[in-house]
Structure 1
């Protein structure tokens, strides 16, 4: 018996060790990163942006090595031994081979050296043509009602994923198991915060609280300028309630010294907010003669921020905002007309980077984020139209952008700084698509595993997130991370889409199927998907 117990003890130790052991270090760049490095060198670039997983407790040594190579550390998280840095092109290989480095990847934005073509062919709008390729005679623009006017009544026949996961009866018996008291971080861009379904969550005492608890971005202006960050470089002093800036005289909210800048809605980069804004943040159609400029005023001492949303050159009629995560209030561009089927306004949350003298207007304009957030967290409340799976849960929204550094730092900030207990990814596939080793040594994968080990969150990720049957993302190799694939039931197809299909359950192609690089099968869970959800309130046909 002693021998049996001893054997079981050894087996248990070995099992625990194998579960907690760190994946071996990768002292080389995979060919996707080598391709990026070669491109950077060919373009004459002097340095590249790296994301780095250091060996345990070796983060400071890596930071010193980067400095020794002439590089600059931009972000450092010693809790999980992670660094983001710009490193000279000629010093990358030396850093990768450093004994204190676990693994290194190049963080890029946009197409990859071994990825898909940046420019896809533009196809004609098939909806406007009949099978013969001729414009359908049945299409009469004079008889089309667009956008459709939606009912104010709740969606009573929406097919809920709760039925597919066999949770309806459970919730009938346990109505408080609705996500209340839980903080859920969505790793995507910022959703539309004015939607009625995103107003109310529930705390553990059953009291209503704000649905959106955290609203910001992990994007770095120097690396990924999508228009939200504003450089507050100029100073003005208000006396007798006024000050002059440029060619205009403004009414001040009070006398004193402020930083000031202009937010320009016509900036080309503003379109990258998801393409939904059409360079028109106040939804006025950009009439002729409009300056399209909005003053932004910042009191550094109090961190109060005023935005001249109505362009009347007065900050006195504006509400003083501050960093949303310090005082959760949204500002609004535009004025809604309740008699129209869409909303003529766009919300934004303020974010302040004191040391860098930057203010961000985090606009709630991301279409994909708005779509997926409703399925998970929508709350019917008093004016919403349906509940998501966890209507009581509170949302943490830290926009991640389209680069590896944001995909790492958004969940890191959400978990470490804001206490996210559940994290679900809607990642950019550009980050993982080209890492064909799928061995758990991609830097984001290593950091996710460390986040799980240190903070014990539940992290969910699509096994992959792009339309290919055999694709697998390295992210789901992180120990403890749950890989998700999607399926859609026959009833869902019919009730939500009016389509009849043959099979009771149907796997979705954007979900991934194993095996992984180490032979492991994925996904871990097949989840119901493709349900009627929330959409941007200011876009025709989606409100």
Structure 2
């Protein structure tokens, strides 16, 4: 997720500051170790996306789940069964470190739609909290991201790019089997953030060695002549 944890208003980013035994969101949480930190993730964060805020597809948009972060191990647990006890939840690493995927909701095999929604986790350590202002200036915090998609468009583009043997082997993408790095630039709702479209693109190319970047976003500068800061930055990255 390439959005900024503070300035972009993306509620899939959760600041980790609370000890697990503290009463938080009206609950006391049970964690394996007292050094771990807890917050919650609200499904309403996805209200502007395809899920309409009903992340587990149970007919409402009021659910939230506890999120436990172990700063020493760099792992995350999500209280998917909503019992306030993290000891029975899977310890997840960031997706790049083990390709772990969790799920909100339960699939009904009798329907043609997969009711459960996949998610991954991501960690950003030592994020400057100056944008909060006040007592946050000069401090840092770790953030956990609950990585869920905003729309089906990324899957559509990934299939065109790297599909391998779709529809019983009848169809491939342009580069079947190519390795995909997925980076979300848009928030849940209209628009994609300036941070993701600048720092996020730099991160993909410079830090992750991505060879080809597809940015499938509508809208162009008034004069599409490449003579603006973002276009010049992309030219330098290329």
Which residue of 2 is the match for residue 413 of structure 1?
203
* 8 Å Cα contact 2:20-2:28 kept in structure 1: no
Aligned position for 2:54:
280
> For residues 384 and 292 of structure 1, what CA distance do their matches in structure 2 show?
40
- Among 343, 361, 380, the residue aligned to 2:114: 343
Distance 1:383 1:257 in 2: 49
Match of 1:447 among 230, 233, 237: 233
Match of 1:271 in 2: 47
- CA positional deviation for 1:245: 4.1
Q: Is the 8 A contact 1:346 1:365 kept in 2?
A: no
**Larger Rg over CA atoms:** 1
Q: Distance in 2 between matches of 1:244 and 1:384?
A: 53
Residue 387 (structure 1) shift = 2.7
Give the SS at the match of 1:305.
strand
CA distance in 1: counterparts of 2:116 and 2:158, whole angstroms: 20
Give, in whole Å, the separation in 2 of the partners of 1:370 and 1:449: 26
The whole-number CA distance in structure 2 between the counterparts of 1:285 and 1:406 is 31
Determine the C-alpha separation between the residues in 1 that align with 2:79 and 2:169: 30
Q: Deviations over 1:318-341 (max 9, x none)?
A: 211122223321221111111111
Q: CA 1:400–1:365 in structure 2 vs 1: closer, same or farther (change >3 Å)?
A: closer
Deviations 1:33-54 (A, max 9, x none): xxxxxxxxxxxxxxxxxxxxxx
Q: Which residue of 2 aligns with 1:366?
A: 151
Structure 2 unaligned blocks of 5 or more: 128-141, 187-191
- Note the residue ranges of structure 1 that are not aligned, 5 or more in a row: 1-216, 238-242, 453-543
> How many positions carry a matched residue from both structures?
219
Q: What residue is the counterpart of 2:184 in the other structure?
A: 399
| Residues 279/295 of structure 1: CA separation in 2 closer, same or farther (3 Å cut) | same
- Residue of 233, 247, 250 corresponding to 2:26: 247
**Cα deviation code 1:192-222 (max 9, x no counterpart):** xxxxxxxxxxxxxxxxxxxxxxxxx211133
Q: TM-score of the superposition, structure 2-length normalised? A: 0.81
Q: Which residue of 2 aligns with 1:314?
A: 85
SS in 2 for 1:369: helix
Q: 1:346 to 1:446 in 2, by over 3 A?
A: same
Tell whether the 8 Å contact from 1:244 to 1:250 is kept in structure 2 after alignment: yes
Which residue matches 1:292? 63
Q: Determine the C-alpha separation between the residues in 2 that align with 1:297 and 1:385.
A: 43
Please provide the CA RMSD for this pair.
Answer: 2.5
TM-score under structure 1 length normalisation:
0.38
Query: 2:231 & 2:42 partners in 1: Cα distance?
Result: 38
Aligned-partner Cα distance in 2 for 1:312–1:337: 22
In the aligned structure 1, how far is the partner of 2:117 from the partner of 2:170?
20
Q: Kindly tell me: are residues 325 and 291 of structure 1, through their superposed partners in 2, closer, same or farther at Cα, counting changes over 3 Å? A: same
Tell me the CA shift for residue 277 of structure 1: 1.0
Corresponding residue for 1:333? 104
The CA deviation string for residues 517-537 of structure 1, in whole angstroms up to 9 with x for no partner, is xxxxxxxxxxxxxxxxxxxxx
